[in-house]
Structures are given as C-alpha cells and as structure tokens.
Amino acid sequence: MNAKQDDFARDWRDTVREIEGMVFDMQSFISATFKFKEAIGPEDNAELKIRTAEVRGKTIWQFTKGPESQNLSRSAAKRTLGKLLYETPVDQAHVTTGEADLHCRIAKKGRVLVSRSKLDLERDVAKTRSHDRQKDYPLTRFDSAALLRVLGFTDSQGSMKPSMHAKYRQVNEFLRIVETTLADLAPSSDAPLNLVDVGCGKAYLSFAAKAYLEATAGVKICFTGIDVRESAIASCRRMADALGWTEDFTFVVADIADFKAKIQPDIVMSLHACDTATDEALAFGVESQARAILCAPCCQHELQSKLGTGGPHQAILRNGILKERLADILTDAFRAQILRVMGYKTQVVEFIDQQATARNILIRATRASRVGMHNAVGEYQALREAWGCTPFLAERLAAACSELVES
C-alpha cells in the first residue's frame, strides 16, 4: 500500500466513524443516503437509504435498497452498514440530523471530500422516528377537540375521520413553520398578529393557526380569509360562528388580484393555490409589505407554455413529462429568486414528506432588505436569460421593480 492509499484509508476510516456516530448515536438522526459504485440490491440498485422508526416502543433502523426494505436492530444495522462502507466502493454519502448535514464524495483520484453544514430551519425529528400516529403534533399541545370537530376532522365521538388524516398532517406541519416564522418576527405581546389566508378554501390553516398560537404563544390573532368561491366563504363564516370567533375573522369573497388590504398583514399564507393564483398571492404579500410570506404552490402550468421545445434544452423539453416537471421546479426557482429581489430572505423547503402529498414544497420568505439588491437581481436575470422566458410573477411585479422584465 502506497502513501496515497494510506492517506485514503485513514481519511475514509475517520469519515465512516463520523457517519456511524451520526446514524447510530445521535437522537436527532433523520436519514442517510449512500450511493455506491456497484450494485448492492435488486434490479442493479446501487443506492441505500436509512431512516429510523419506533416500532412497539423500540427504535429500529430501516434499510431500503430499491423496492426492498429491511428493519434491523442497532447492532445489526451498524454491522451491515460498516460492511458495506468498507467492502463496497462508495460514490457519495449524505447524512441528515436535526442539527447538521454531512455530505461526502469520493473523488476520482481517491480523495475523501467531506462538507458539513448547519441547518437553517429547525427540523422535527420526532415525526421521522415513529410509525405510530401518537406524535408531538402542534394540535395535540392544547385542547383542540372543539376546533377539530367544527372543522370536520373528527366525528361526534372525537375520532379522526380516515379521510382527514392527510389534511391533518399537512396543517400540523404548516403550523410548525408558522411558529418558527412567528419567532423570527418577534411580535409585541400586546399587539394582534394580522394574518391573511389567500385562496383560503375551508380555512383549515387559518382556524388552526389562531387556536394554536393563541393557546401556546399567547399572541392575539386576527385573520382575513380570501376566496373567490362564495360557498367556501359561507362555510368559513359558519365555522367561525360555531367557534365564537366572529370578531377575530374577516372572510371576503374576492379575486386576490383585486383585493386590497386595509391593514398591513404580518403574515400572508397560501396553501395550494393553483397556478398563477400562487403568483397573485406572492404579489399580494409583496405589495402589501407583509413581514412574512408562507406559500405552498400547487400546479405550475403558466411557465411551461413559454419554454417551447427547442434550443439548447431540446433534449429535455421534447419529453412532455420531463418538461412538466422542469417547469414546476423552474417556476418555484423563479418565484423564490423574485422574492429575494423584492427584499425577502427566502427559503424553499419541504414542509411534509412526499408520501403525504406530492405538493410538499413550501416557499418561506421574511422581509429583510431593500428592493433590487444587486446580487439578487443579477442571479434572477441570469436565470431568465438561461431559459429565455419571463415568469408571470415578474410581469406582475414589474411596476415595483422594472429590472424583473426585459427592457
């Protein structure tokens, strides 16, 4: 063994020990993904995913290789992973915990390249560690029985309706992010927090956020719900009456493009507003100078028609399904960058796992700087020029920042 091989062996041994410590010794471990240079599973699969779960009160490590999964005890899991990492050539590794991420790549010349990063957004480890549904959901931290019954999540006996499990999880995960955002805003304890729910529908999120934040954070919440459908607004008003909250809620039948806020909103929220309705919600948040914007986009079709089928990206654009998925990603990338141009510190995160809903992307923005910061504008313009199109949101906000559209 030569000096280079000695160096690699030492570096790799140290890295494996760090990975094992994160996977098996940290309570905040979330997940790990390993890509190997050789097949390790069925159908020539070369990828291993690891996560933990609670089964009958015990922690197990679930190893997934392609379509196959195996539940192992800690000792068996550690032996199995160690054997793989030492005996099968590794290409990349990614380990995530509640505090940090570790990325590892083996370079062609045999160097072990490792990068570590702190997390910007607090991650909830409890939700990834249990197969049970007895979890630390925000709506379990106070007496939410009446709220859940009025919203239709539970029946008259207080049991969760099977059809509402997915929506219940979405609302809870959204509440975690609302809570984190509230901490960033540091509201005055004696001033009400004004929230606007755009395309509110049945306003599950609005009702839940008011109940949760007032019960756990002691913050007075005033809400405005906006929806174009009269039937949805009528339903919201009936639920507000049933909860005795008529003084704290305003529900308006309106197109968001035509709505003007009478009071500056602290937080603008939008959960799965379709296509350009998401852009209208974002534009409303920017134009009303909201302190924070939380938006989970739905379908994104508008940009797809502008991409065409030719040019340097023809190999992607000629395939309908790839073009559609590319348009989804590109639309949200444009949206996030435009918010940065408009003075918002912006993150794009997953607010719930994809098994719960494929529409699991959340754009989280808090107002932080002045409009038109040079770096943000330059990155946006480079993105626009690379794809040869201007998104709807840029055109919508052109009056506020002319640099969003071509001169």
Q: Are 38 and 88 in contact (CB under 8 A)?
A: yes
**Which is higher by pLDDT, 109 or 257?**
257
Question: β-pairing, 267-271 with 193-198?
Answer: parallel
Q: Looking at domain 135-404, what is its CATH homologous superfamily? A: Vaccinia Virus protein VP39 (3.40.50.150)
- Residue 67 has φ and ψ, to the nearest 5°, of -85, -5
Confidence at 1, pLDDT banded by 50, 70, 90: low
**Cα 309 from Cα 307, distance rounded (Å):** 7
- Residue 134 CB burial class (10 angstroms; 0-12, 13-18, ≥19): exposed
- Residue 61 CB burial class (10 angstroms; 0-12, 13-18, ≥19): buried
pLDDT one-digit tens code per residue, 155-192? 888 888 888 888 888 888 889 888 888 888 876 667 88
Lowest mean pLDDT among 18-27, 119-128, 246-255, 356-365: 119-128
Q: Which residue has the tokens 């606007």?
A: 196
**Cα 56 from Cα 404, distance rounded (Å):** 55
- Return the pLDDT at 188: 60
Question: How would you write 152-198 as a 3-class SS string?
Answer: CCECCCCCECHHHHHHHHHHHHHHHHHHHHHHHHCCCCCCCEEEEEE
- Return the pLDDT at 321: 87
Segments making up each domain of the chain, as ranges: 3-118, 135-404
**Which is higher by pLDDT, 4 or 253?**
253
Give the amino acid at 399.
A
Average pLDDT, the chain: 85
- Residue 41 has φ and ψ, to the nearest 5°, of -150, -170
- Return the pLDDT at 289: 92
**Cα 268 from Cα 369, distance rounded (Å):** 18
pLDDT one-digit tens code per residue, 351-403? 766 555 556 788 999 998 777 777 899 999 999 998 888 999 999 999 988 88
pLDDT one-digit tens code per residue, 269-310? 988 777 678 899 999 999 999 999 999 887 667 787 788 776
- Return the pLDDT at 116: 80
**Which is higher by pLDDT, 149 or 8?**
149
pTM: 0.65
- Return the pLDDT at 359: 66
**Cα 256 from Cα 260, distance rounded (Å):** 8
DSSP state of 349: E
